[in-house]
Structure 1
Amino acid sequence: MSESTTTIETAWLAIGQIVAPQGLRGEMRVNPSSDFPERFLIPGPRWLRRPRQTEPEVVELERGRAIAGKNLYIVQLAGITSREQAEALRGCELLVPASDRPELDEGEFHVLDLIDLSVIDQASSTPLGIVRDVVSAGNDLLVVELTDGREVYIPFVEAIVPVVDLAQGRIEITPPPGLLEL
């Protein structure tokens, strides 16, 4: 997995959500939705979308650090110098332009590229459904809406998902017995 499926428009990628202030000097805890730590560690422009707003505003990341043992980052944004200012940003999303997507290695995929792909049973060529989301849970899970309307979680591992064909807009799966009946 790489970036969150949450987008404002196709021009933006959500990289994390501000979940709480940290300390008294305006630092904030961010729950990341990106697998790229540099999004939170390297200073530079980011964009902030407040709840119930559609247009993001530019902000400057001054510094960031990971919290050891937790999937959280502490960030400092320019102009945010008090706990109260940081608290006012709770629930805001941090964004980057979609054009800033990092290059991936062979066999790696951006989450947004997987959404809306058709899911096909490799053995029978039967259409099974559509990928609606990807959830991180140890191994990534594809959230698939089956043709009958049910939703199932399919482990995104090569043994079960041997083919991802972005050009054809499809994923082929070899589900073990019972996986689609859950």
Structure 2
Amino acid sequence: MAEQDWIIIGQVVAAQGLKGEVRINPSTDFPERFEVPGQRWLQLPNQDPQSVELERGRQIPGKNLFVVKFEHIQDRTQAENIRGAKVLVRAGDRPELEADEYHVSDLIGLEVFDYNTQAKLGIVSDLYTAAQDVLEVTDANQKKHLVPFVKAIVPVVDLVENRLEVDAPPGLFEI
């Protein structure tokens, strides 16, 4: 399968204990992907994704980490061998979203235009989550600008046309 057929939902960062559990740093807003048993895929660097069965999982209280148990990973040595693996799901398994909600992978790469002048400002190169989502926009000079991803500043997101429009407050793209 091609890379666009997969969604990265996390990465194995460490072994947990002695019985084959691993810690996962999630990159998804859907925690059930680490808590509900079922098929997932692991991809080690320079290898094709391999199917694995998630037996169980739980979030570590107070941390943005999950501890999961995959079938056939029985001890710490096996768990350490998958450290660094990406945890994947098929792109077709993306959850349905509400209006004005977007998958991060759909936003990365969108062309960014000024809402008023239609001048091209750059391309969405990343998205950061904190108190609110923030788009990283890289301009033609490779300078990065952080844009709050709120309706008042980003009134238009058009996935069909591969673009979004920014009604930037003065100075946002001049810093």
TM-score by length of 1: 0.90
Partner SS, residue 179 of structure 1:
coil
Partner SS, residue 180 of structure 1:
coil
Q: Distance in 2 between matches of 1:181 and 1:52?
A: 40
Q: Distance in 1 between matches of 2:14 and 2:148?
A: 31
Corresponding residue of 1:24: 18
Q: Distance in 1 between matches of 2:161 and 2:18?
A: 51
Which of 40, 46, 50 is the aligned partner of 1:52? 46
**Partner AA of 1:109 in structure 2:** Y
Deviation at 1:137, TM superposition (A): 2.9
Partner SS, residue 13 of structure 2:
strand
1:1-182 → structure 2 map (5 Å cutoff): 9-53=3-47, 55-182=48-175
**Partner AA of 1:163 in structure 2:** V
Q: Distance in 1 between matches of 2:82 and 2:109?
A: 32
Q: Distance in 2 between matches of 1:69 and 1:157?
A: 27
- Identity among equivalent positions (%) equals 54
**Partner AA of 1:141 in structure 2:** V
Q: Distance in 2 between matches of 1:50 and 1:71?
A: 22
Q: Extract unaligned runs of 5+ from structure 1.
A: 1-7
Per-residue displacement from partner, 1:83-134 (whole Å, max 9, x unpaired)? 1111111111110000101100011001111122111111222111111222
Deviation at 1:167, TM superposition (A): 1.9
Q: Distance in 2 between matches of 1:78 and 1:181?
A: 52
TM-score by length of 2: 0.94
Deviation at 1:178, TM superposition (A): 2.1
Partner SS, residue 52 of structure 1:
coil
User: Once superposed, what is the RMSD of the aligned Cα atoms?
Assistant: 1.3
Q: Extract unaligned runs of 5+ from structure 2.
A: none
